[in-house]
Amino acid sequence: MKILAIESSCDETAAAVVEDGRRVLSSIVASQVEEHRLYGGVVPEIASRRHSEAISGVVREALETAGTPLDALDAVAVTYAPGLIGALLVGVNFAKGLALSAGLPLIPVHHLRGHIAANYIAHPDLAPPFLCLVVSGGHSHIVEVSDYTALRVLGRTRDDAAGEAFDKAARAMGMPYPGGIALDKLAESGNGRAYALPHPAVEGSPLDFSFSGLKTAVINILHNAAQKGEEISIPDLAASYRKAVVDCLVKNFLAAADETRSETLVLAGGVSANRLLRRRMEAVCKKTGRALYVPPLPLCGDNAAMIGAQAYYEYLAGHTADMSLNALARRGIEES
């Protein structure tokens, strides 16, 4: 089954052709990073305009690269939630028009389900059940995946997502957008124990995360040093901050794994590219004998191949949509 997938939830316009949920025939991504870097973050209105300008060309290139004309497709899939509403609408409306004109089924895909499915592409042997840590710029979830379309959230952030916390702290330290990538790179040369930082926990919800206080602690360190005329080692502060965030992620993820007796652990989302997070999880899984699956770097960020992978399983489960499909800025991953 060949599916054309479209992704436009944030600042990447992407299209891909995926066969049977595992084989990527093409994957095209048009990034807006350079433009948004001028503003220190994603500007939703600009993102929506750029999606509108790029989507036709990106879809055409995906079909041509795959050597797959429209009449050889079996379905059209699209990210419909969650994300920037204006950006999502561009992809959803384009996919609806294309599906209608070509007489193809329309498959709505949740963005975070797509991030999890990136691992199906990279690891043909991976199949549910497993436990997944989904960490990105807007989300931090511990998800129990009992089947391809049956998911249950065990823990989530109560405020900032891990990726958002990385980006905001990096900006405070003077790093360019996207800050999380810059911080991760700089932290490799720093001492992760140089600065004592809090490890916030949510009382009564041990599997939930809270990163806003940690971010505030870094900002206070920077402000206090500036007021006193003291020098700050940015590599050391970056390393200490990265360690504190990863400590929280790993601690809760492993607690959930113990609670559910999960022997297969999966990372997904943009922050799954974080060097320290990958190293820590590799070490602990080696020590405990658990299997660990992580996506390759090109599949960590937003792309349409992951949407096409999940779309295959959504289709098998009967999850299709008609022309009333709308974009949703917020939507639980447990909802189809």
Q: Are 106 and 325 in contact (CB under 8 A)?
A: yes
Total-model pTM: 0.95
C-alpha to C-alpha distance for 276 and 118, rounded to whole angstroms: 20
Q: Are 255 and 265 in contact (CB under 8 A)?
A: no
The tens digit of pLDDT for each residue in 281-299 reads 999 999 999 999 999 999 9
Say if residue 152 is in the same domain as residue 285: yes
Encoded tokens for 14 = 């992407």
Q: Which element (helix H / strand E) includes 30? A: strand 23-31
Give me the phi and psi of 64, to 5 degrees please: -65, -40
Q: What is the mean pLDDT of residues 254-276?
A: 97
Say if residue 111 is in the same domain as residue 142: no
Q: Between vectors from CA 190 to CA 196 and to CA 286, what angle results, nearest 5°? A: 85
Say if residue 52 is in the same domain as residue 162: no
- With pLDDT > 70 as the criterion, what percentage of the chain qualifies? 100
| Confidence at residue 73, expressed as pLDDT on a 0 to 100 scale | 98
Q: What is the mean pLDDT of residues 211-233?
A: 93
Higher pLDDT, 34 or 66: 66
Lowest mean pLDDT of 36-45, 64-73, 135-144, 218-227, name the range.
36-45
DSSP codes of every residue in 145-198: EEETTEEEEEEEBSSS-HHHHHHHHHHHTTPPSSHHHHHHHHHTTS-TTSS---
| Confidence at residue 249, expressed as pLDDT on a 0 to 100 scale | 97
Q: Within 10 Å of residue 283's Cβ, how many Cβ atoms?
A: 12
| Confidence at residue 233, expressed as pLDDT on a 0 to 100 scale | 97
Say if residue 267 is in the same domain as residue 135: yes
Q: Are 238 and 195 in contact (CB under 8 A)?
A: no
**Mean pLDDT rounded to a whole number for the chain:** 96
| Confidence at residue 181, expressed as pLDDT on a 0 to 100 scale | 93
Give me the phi and psi of 246, to 5 degrees please: -65, -40
- Check whether 41 has a pLDDT greater than 90: no
Say if residue 104 is in the same domain as residue 151: no
Does residue 209 lie in a domain region? yes
The identity of residue 23, as a single letter, is: R
The tens digit of pLDDT for each residue in 237-246 reads 999 999 999 9
Give me the phi and psi of 220, to 5 degrees please: -65, -40
Say if residue 289 is in the same domain as residue 142: yes
| Confidence at residue 98, expressed as pLDDT on a 0 to 100 scale | 98
Parent domain of 83: 2-116+301-316
Say if residue 109 is in the same domain as residue 161: no
Under the banding of pLDDT at 50, 70 and 90, the label for residue 192 is very high
Does residue 179 lie in a domain region? yes
Q: Are 87 and 13 in contact (CB under 8 A)?
A: no
C-alpha to C-alpha distance for 12 and 159, rounded to whole angstroms: 24
| Confidence at residue 47, expressed as pLDDT on a 0 to 100 scale | 94
Does residue 326 lie in a domain region? no
Say if residue 181 is in the same domain as residue 268: yes
| Confidence at residue 68, expressed as pLDDT on a 0 to 100 scale | 98
Helix (H), strand (E) counts: the chain: 10, 10
Distance, CA of 320 to chain centre: 23
250-275 burial code (b ≥16 CB/10 A, e <16): bebbbebbeebebebbbbbbbbbbbe
Does residue 98 lie in a domain region? yes
| Confidence at residue 281, expressed as pLDDT on a 0 to 100 scale | 98
| Confidence at residue 33, expressed as pLDDT on a 0 to 100 scale | 87
Encoded tokens for 274 = 């974080």
Say if residue 33 is in the same domain as residue 160: no
Give me the phi and psi of 236, to 5 degrees please: -70, -40
- Check whether 112 has a pLDDT greater than 80: yes
CATH of the domain at 175: 3.30.420.40
Does residue 330 lie in a domain region? no
Contacts (Cβ under 8 Å, ≥6 apart) of 230 = 224
Q: Are 121 and 306 in contact (CB under 8 A)?
A: yes
| Confidence at residue 177, expressed as pLDDT on a 0 to 100 scale | 87
C-alpha to C-alpha distance for 70 and 76, rounded to whole angstroms: 10
| Confidence at residue 171, expressed as pLDDT on a 0 to 100 scale | 93
Residue with tokens 């007489």: 103
- Check whether 336 has a pLDDT greater than 80: no
| Confidence at residue 40, expressed as pLDDT on a 0 to 100 scale | 84
- Check whether 34 has a pLDDT greater than 90: no
Does residue 238 lie in a domain region? yes
Q: What is the mean pLDDT of residues 160-180?
A: 92
Does residue 321 lie in a domain region? no
Measured in residues, the chain has a length of 336
Residue with tokens 């943009």: 270
Q: Are 44 and 84 in contact (CB under 8 A)?
A: yes
Say if residue 182 is in the same domain as residue 75: no
